[in-house]
Amino acid sequence: MGEAAVKIIAQNKKAFHDYFVEDQFEAGIELAGTEVKSIRLGHVNLKDSFCIIKDGEMRVYGMHISPYEKGNIFNKDPLRPRRMLMHRREIIRLYAKIKQDGYALVPLSVYLKGPRVKIRLGLAKGKKLYDKRDVAAEKDAKREMDRTMKSRRNDY
pLDDT at 54: 86
Reduced DSSP (H G I as helix, E B as strand, rest coil) percent helix, strand, coil of the chain, to 5: 35, 35, 25
**What's the confidence (pLDDT) of residue 1?**
46
The domain defined by 6-127 carries CATH number 3.30.310.50:
no
Question: In terms of Cα–Cα distance, which of 49, 39, 34 is closest to 106?
Answer: 49
Distance of CA 125 to the CA centre of its chain: 14
Exposed/middle/buried for residue 81 (C-beta within 10 Å: 0-12, 13-18, 19+): middle
Residue type, 65: I
pTM: 0.70
* Contact assessment for residue 95 and residue 88, using Cβ atoms and an 8 Å cutoff: no
Per the DSSP assignment, residues forming a β-bridge with 7 are 112
Q: What is the CA radius of gyration of the chain?
A: 19
Q: Terminal CA-to-CA distance of the chain, rounded, Å? A: 51
For the chain, 156 residues long, give each residue's pLDDT as a single digit of tens. 456 778 888 888 887 777 878 888 888 888 877 788 888 888 888 888 888 888 888 888 888 888 777 767 667 777 788 888 889 898 888 888 888 777 888 888 888 888 888 898 888 887 777 677 877 788 888 888 888 877 776 666
Distances (CA, A) of 21 to 12, 32, 55, 73, 106: 12, 29, 25, 39, 9
In this structure, how many other beta carbons lie within 10 angstroms of the beta carbon of residue 40?
A: 14
